């Protein structure tokens, strides 16, 4: 167990790091954020920060020596950086979990290998593999996605028919990609599970998610799905966390098919945008649960205290947030990012229903 007063090291300084730092402070921990971006929003609410690159071994070593445990808030940290840090401090979740989730082919293969379904997919590194893969998944509507560094729908292209393949290949770098069958889903849901050092786990209520242009727009809790499906989603998320021996949080995004089947879309070994509702609608927020898991504390309860619809403030939407400042049912969370940019997550509002 990490004693209160200890320092939690967080790699990455975005909004997830910021909200994790706030939850850490609430439980009596200090935080040290490591991020190359001098304008990181998490710096504003943390005790210590280091501005350095993920390859800077001297800074990484100093950082590791200054903290009691290390975690991370985003996935694109070089695997070697985490392996290096692990030599100097306890890293939770373990780097192996990050390694799996950093790459879409590894991630989907892992999921299938433990007997859980995804959309049909094929790995792509060349035009001929793209053509073959497209045939293998049965042609028709498909999506090609870069294996690494994609987020918020970036690094993706849709394929309607075979005649577009060459143009799509030439239009973007898909030399390390995955082609997957388009799923005409009924809805999208996500399950977030917390798992501790002792292997015990606890799932948050499942959220129902709506995306716009590949970016999460709203999450609703409770999700409008059957009790059986809710339990099934939690079971899958728990199994995945167990298989990775993960300590921390695992968020799993699913498609619910028209036949009522769950297909895993992707996962993240950290707090997740679709769990932000929990800050105002759950007995324990996902950020607090994350800190509890990483520090070896008992989990907080996860009962729903309010029905919530979380709405992301994307880009210049954040300017409209002022309209809600006097609204008791609208809980504002602004991330303090220096620059507003189109498509950038700037904050969210939890609307209490």
How would you class 341 by CB atoms within 10 Å of its CB: exposed for 0-12, middle for 13-18, buried for 19 or more? exposed
Q: Are 76 and 11 in contact (CB under 8 A)?
A: no
Backbone angles phi, psi at 108, to 5 degrees: -65, -35
180 lies in the binding site for ligand ADP (CB under 6 A): yes
344 lies in the binding site for ligand ADP (CB under 6 A): no
Residue 131: count of CB within 10 angstroms of its CB:
16
Task: Give 93-132 as a DSSP string.
Answer: S-HHHHHHHTSHHHHHHHHHHTT--B--EEEESSHHHHHH
Stretch that binds ligand ADP, among 33-41, 128-136, 179-187, 340-348 (CB under 6 A): 179-187
74 lies in the binding site for ligand ADP (CB under 6 A): no
**By C-beta, is 83 or 211 nearer to ligand ADP?**
211
Q: Return the residues of window 123-162 that contact ligand ADP according to CB under 6 A.
A: 143, 145, 150-153
Task: Give 278-331 as a DSSP string.
Answer: HHHHBSS-HHHHHHHHHHTPPPPP--BSS-EEEEEEEGGGGGGGGGGTT-TTEE
Whole-number minimum distance, CB 200 to ligand ADP, in Å?
28
Q: Distance between CA 205 and CA 229 in Å, rounded?
A: 12
Q: Distance between CA 350 and CA 336 in Å, rounded?
A: 17
Which candidate, 189, 244, 307, 248, places its Cα nearest to that of 2? 248
Q: Which of 22, 73, 208, 266 binds ligand ADP (CB under 6 A)?
A: 266
Whole-number minimum distance, CB 124 to ligand ADP, in Å?
14
* Length of the chain (residues): 353
Number of residues that bind ligand ADP (CB under 6 A): 16
183 lies in the binding site for ligand ADP (CB under 6 A): yes
- Give the SS3 label for residue 212: strand
Whole-number minimum distance, CB 157 to ligand ADP, in Å?
11
- Give the SS3 label for residue 133: helix
**By C-beta, is 253 or 280 nearer to ligand ADP?**
253
Whole-number minimum distance, CB 7 to ligand ADP, in Å?
31
**By C-beta, is 66 or 257 nearer to ligand ADP?**
257
Q: Are 301 and 284 in contact (CB under 8 A)?
A: yes
**By C-beta, is 77 or 119 nearer to ligand ADP?**
119
208 lies in the binding site for ligand ADP (CB under 6 A): no
Q: Return the residues of window 186-205 that contact ligand ADP according to CB under 6 A.
A: 188
Q: Which of 31, 265, 286, 350 binds ligand ADP (CB under 6 A)?
A: 265
Stretch that binds ligand ADP, among 3-11, 55-63, 94-102, 182-190 (CB under 6 A): 182-190
Q: Which of 36, 68, 214, 299 binds ligand ADP (CB under 6 A)?
A: 214
Q: Distance between CA 266 and CA 243 in Å, rounded?
A: 16
264 lies in the binding site for ligand ADP (CB under 6 A): no
257 lies in the binding site for ligand ADP (CB under 6 A): no
Binding site for ligand ADP (CB under 6 A): 119, 143, 145, 150-153, 180, 182-183, 188, 211, 214, 253, 265-266
């Amino acid at each position: 167990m990490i004693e209160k007063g200890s320092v939690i090291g967080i790699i990455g300084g975005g909004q997830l790091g910021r909200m994790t730092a706030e939850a850490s402070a609430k439980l009596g921990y200090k935080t040290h954020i490591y991020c190359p971006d001098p304008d990181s929003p998490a710096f504003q609410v943390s005790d210590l920060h280091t501005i350095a690159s993920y390859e800077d071994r001297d800074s990484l070593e100093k950082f590791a020596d200054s903290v009691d445990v290390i975690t991370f808030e985003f996935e694109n940290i070089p695997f070697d950086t985490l392996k290096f840090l692990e030599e100097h401090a306890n890293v939770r979740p373990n780097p192996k979990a990050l390694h799996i989730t950093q790459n879409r082919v590894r991630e989907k293969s892992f999921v299938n290998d433990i007997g859980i379904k995804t959309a049909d997919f094929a790995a792509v590194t060349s035009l001929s593999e793209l053509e073959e893969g497209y045939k293998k998944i049965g042609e028709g509507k498909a999506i090609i996605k870069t294996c690494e560094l994609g987020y918020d729908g970036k690094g993706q292209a849709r394929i309607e028919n075979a005649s577009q393949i060459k143009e799509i290949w030439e239009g973007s770098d898909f030399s390390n990609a995955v082609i997957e069958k388009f799923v005409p889903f009924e809805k999208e849901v996500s399950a977030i599970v917390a798992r501790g050092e002792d292997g015990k786990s606890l799932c948050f209520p499942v959220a129902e998610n709506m995306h716009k242009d590949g970016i999460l727009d709203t999450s609703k809790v409770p999700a409008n799905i059957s009790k059986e499906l809710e339990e099934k989603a939690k079971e899958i998320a728990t199994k995945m966390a167990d298989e990775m021996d993960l300590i921390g949080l695992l968020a799993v995004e699913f498609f619910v098919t028209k036949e009522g089947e769950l297909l895993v879309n992707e996962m993240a070994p950290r707090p997740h945008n679709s769990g932000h509702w929990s800050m105002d609608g759950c007995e324990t927020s996902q950020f607090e649960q994350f800190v509890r898991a990483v520090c070896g504390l008992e989990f907080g309860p996860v009962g729903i205290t309010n029905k919530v619809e979380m709405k992301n403030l994307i880009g210049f939407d954040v300017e409209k947030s002022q309209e809600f400042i006097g609204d008791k049912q609208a809980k504002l969370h602004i991330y303090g990012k220096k620059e507003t940019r189109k498509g950038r997550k700037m904050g969210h509002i939890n609307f209490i229903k």
